[in-house]
Structures are given as structure tokens and as C-alpha cells.
Copies of this chain bind each other. A is one copy, B any other.
């Protein structure tokens, strides 16, 4: 398989996967393109390679920067902005976990705390089932939260050695 073909396939698959993770296709494709590009690219490069409009590139790159997955790069004597993506996949994964924890898990846990204060007789089957569900989610969430914290703070070697220990 030729490089150009392989690139295309990688970008397209990474994009498809993104849609299963609540990320839009194009944003994931821009990320994919930047990951496999040795040198930083401009917005025009991305427009050309993915065949999408300037506005689209601009919005998606900004989102990727917000996610901490892409950085602006200044190049000596160049007026244009260049962009590059983190290439260490472990860092990418940690960054995504960190952000999703902040954006999803933390607010979810806050809500569960609220909901566990629901009025009503705990003998009532309806109330009981509701509270049990909430309690289960809270417990799960707390553990997930701790584990993810560890992962976020870990480096690759820690992760590997821990993973290995788990099988011993």
C-alpha cells in the first residue's frame, strides 16, 4: 500500500471513530492529519488536504486547541500560523481523559449528589430503586474518578508496568 493511500485511510478511519466518541468527523480528521504530518501545517494546508472550507478548518482547529490536542507554532519570518498535534499517543490519551473527566464525569457526579437528596419514603419501591441506581452510579463514578486521576498523572512506563502486574 502506498503512503498516500494509507494516509487517506488513516484519516478517514480516525474520523469515523471520532463520531463514536462524540467528536465530529472533521475535527477527528484534522487531528489525524496533523498527527501524521512531520511538520506543522497552515490552515490552507489543511483546507487543501481535506478539501474543506476555511471556516470549517478554523473552527475545528480552535476546538482541538481547546482540547489541548493541537498547538499553534510560530515559524521564524512567517506571517501565517502553523499548527501541530501531539504525536505521543499516550499524551493524547491522557489529555482526552483529563478533559472528558472535567467536562462529563465531574458534572455528572455533582448531579448525582443532588439527586440522592430526593424526598420520599425509602420503603417505596419507586424511591428505593431510584436511590439505589443513583448510589450505584455515585460509587462507580468515585472509583472511576480515582483511577482516571492516576492514569492522567502516570507516564507510559507506569501504565505498562501496572497493566502487566494485573495479569501476573
Chain A residues with a Cβ under 8 A of chain B: 1-3, 6-7, 9-10, 13, 17, 19-22, 35-39, 87-90, 93, 100, 103-104, 108, 111, 114-115, 117-120, 125-130, 132-134, 136-137, 139-140, 143, 146-147, 150, 159-160, 162-163, 166-167
Contact = CB atoms under 8 A, between A and B. Distances in A.
Contacts of A39: 125
A128 to B, nearest CB: 7
Given A17-B108, A147-B166, A150-B167, A38 B126 contact: yes
17 contacts: A3-B126, A6-B118, A6-B130, A9-B115, A10-B133, A13-B108, A13-B111, A17-B108, A20-B100, A20-B104, A21-B22, A87-B136, A89-B139, A89-B140, A90-B140, A150-B166, A162-B166
A137 B91 CA distance: 11
Given A13-B111, A20-B22, A146-B163, A133 B2 contact: no
A22 B132 CA distance: 26
A162 B162 CA distance: 10
A160 B134 contact: no
Contacts of A126: 3, 38
A20 B90 CA distance: 21
Contacts of A115: 1, 6, 9-10
Contacts of A143: 159-160, 163
